[in-house]
Amino acid sequence: MQKWKELLMRLNKYIAFCGAASRRKADELVLQGRVRINGILVKEVGVQIEPGIDTVEIDGKTITPEDEKVYIMLNKPTGYVSTAKDQFGRKTVLDLVDTDKRVYPVGRLDYDTSGLIILTNDGDFSYAMTHPKHEIKKVYIAKIKGKPSISQIALFERGLRIEGYTTAPSRLELLKYDAASDSSVVRITIHEGKNRQVRKMCDAIGHPVMSLSRVQIGHLNLGDLEKGKSRPLKAEEVKRLLKAVTI
């Protein structure tokens, strides 16, 4: 059981510790006017609270720390959003997991992307896994239009210029080319997590993605987990994921 180590704590850290949202999402909730402290609406991020004394509410519901941390891996199908709620009423990844804990996704997968995603109520774990400085490896299998050339593959290793920034060095491996459909199956490894990054990188070299699935995060492999199914992570799997980062 984690103990409070300080008298004052940043609001976003407390929300994450309660398993209500990641730190980044907690700040978004504040800016959306959905968070109150002792009944008073919070209007800016960076506020500090006194755990055990102050009462924090999200959407009118009081949140409290959860002692038992859970970690779930899910093989997300396409057609689901990687959020706890969706303003448009679309199905979310929470519809696919059976738990009485208040979990949320670690990072995101696009609506039209399938594959491995982790859900948890551990805010520190989520922060460690998604912070850019930790450069967690993510591996995707994609079907793309056409066949990438050697020079185009090399562009991934050097970094691609997309939407005003240069991507970190990544890897594109050609696994199979089908001449009949003029399409290729490739393995793509990145260490970033910007919005729709893999799709944008493939667009940048002229080979748009036709289908995309994430198969690995760090050492954790999707394996034979069926689409739409989930399972708890083993304690050793969680430890290995965290071993490469510093919370």
CATH number at residue 32: 3.10.290.10
Q: Is residue 78 part of a domain?
A: yes
Q: Is the pLDDT of residue 3 over 50?
A: no
Q: Is residue 192 part of a domain?
A: yes
Cβ proximity of 152 and 106 under 8 Å: no
pLDDT of the residue at 208? 98
CATH number at residue 94: 3.30.70.580
> Do 106 and 147 fall within a single domain?
no
Q: Is the pLDDT of residue 115 over 80?
A: yes
Q: What is the pLDDT of residues 218-243, one digit of tens each?
A: 999 999 999 999 999 999 999 999 88
Considering the entire predicted model, what is its pTM?
A: 0.78
pLDDT of the residue at 153? 97
Active site residues: 110
Q: What is the pLDDT of residues 163-216, one digit of tens each?
A: 889 999 999 999 999 999 999 999 999 999 888 999 999 999 999 999 999 999
> Do 149 and 213 fall within a single domain?
yes
Q: Which residue has the higher pLDDT, 128 or 186?
A: 186
> Do 144 and 125 fall within a single domain?
no
The three state secondary structure string of 52-119 is CCCCEEECCEECCCCCCCCEEEEEECCCCECCCCCCCCCCEHHHHCCCCCCCEEECCCCCCCEEEEEE
Domain holding 30, by residue range, is: 9-62
Strand pairing report for 171-178 and 183-190:
antiparallel
> Do 20 and 48 fall within a single domain?
yes
Strand partners, 186: 142, 174
pLDDT of the residue at 1? 35
Q: Is residue 142 part of a domain?
A: yes
Residue with tokens 């407390």: 14
Cβ proximity of 117 and 214 under 8 Å: yes
Q: Is the pLDDT of residue 45 over 50?
A: yes
pLDDT of the residue at 2? 44
